Amino acid sequence: MSRRFFSVLSAVAFAAALGLSGCSNDEQDAPSPQTTPPSASASLNPAAPAPSSTPLPPPDALAGVLYRLADPAVPGLQKLNLVEGATPENGVVFDEFANALVNGGYTPLKFDVRDIGWSDRDPADVVANVDVGTPNAHGPHFAFPMEFKPYQGGWQLSARTAEVLLAFRSDSTVTPPTPGR
């Protein structure tokens, strides 16, 4: 399939995420155990032993990955190390993702990373629930469970999360994750 198709698919997936977030209940802003999406809580495993006694990353470390990925001032080709398995062909998708956030009203952008825990799929990875929005309480927002992998002393978004969030495939044999598993 062509890069143009994946670009359009990315924009459609992002628009769908925005549309679904508009259906959310405003009462979700109050913290409560029920606000965690079922697929995210199934992946979180705070009781799992930390790999080699490594502490969990602070929320700012994971948010930093997302802020850089969403920054329209950073060219897509300079974002390859932010996503597991990204190739130069994905640079266009990264640019379109950043532009879609701006065009969707997500400026200034705010990432609230919470509920960080070790992944039950790979003990070196972490999962977190991420609220994406703006400082304006009435502005656009959505929540998304994300997985991060250790990378060169820092963190990067897992290919599995990037596939869903950015709607691109770096490997056509990889299938998207089943929600709730």
Delimit the domains of the chain by residue range.
3-21+59-166
pTM of this structure: 0.67
**27: confidence class by pLDDT, cuts 50, 70, 90:** very low
- What pLDDT is attached to residue 35? 38
Q: Quote the CA–CA distance of 59 and 101 in Å, as a whole number.
A: 21
- What pLDDT is attached to residue 61? 98
Phi, psi of 175 (to 5 degrees): -100, 150
**125: confidence class by pLDDT, cuts 50, 70, 90:** very high
Token couple for 3: 């890069």
Q: Quote the CA–CA distance of 39 and 21 in Å, as a whole number.
A: 16
Q: Quote the CA–CA distance of 27 and 180 in Å, as a whole number.
A: 23
**70: confidence class by pLDDT, cuts 50, 70, 90:** very high
Evaluate if residue 2 carries a pLDDT over 80. Answer: no
Whether the CB-CB separation of 44 and 130 falls below 8 Å is answered with no
Q: Quote the CA–CA distance of 113 and 132 in Å, as a whole number.
A: 9
Q: Quote the CA–CA distance of 29 and 15 in Å, as a whole number.
A: 21
* Order of strands, sheet of 126-133, starting from the edge strand that comes earlier in the sequence: 110-118, 126-133, 142-151, 154-157
CATH node for 3-21+59-166: 3.10.450
Evaluate if residue 7 carries a pLDDT over 70. Answer: no
Please name the helix (run of DSSP H) or strand (run of DSSP E) that holds residue 102, with its range, or none: helix 91-103
Tell me the per-residue pLDDT of 91-124, one tens digit each, with 9 for 90 and over: 999 999 999 989 988 889 999 999 999 999 999 9
Evaluate if residue 18 carries a pLDDT over 50. Answer: no
- What pLDDT is attached to residue 54? 85
- What pLDDT is attached to residue 167? 72
Tell me the per-residue pLDDT of 147-165, one tens digit each, with 9 for 90 and over: 999 999 999 999 999 999 8
Q: HEC states along 32-87?
A: CHHHCCHHHHHHECCCCCCHHHCCCCCHHHHHHHHHHHHCCCCCHHHHHHHECCCC
* Higher per-residue confidence, 96 vs 32: 96
Q: In angstroms, what CA-CA distances link 177 with 7, 83, 150, 162, 167?
A: 20, 17, 20, 11, 12
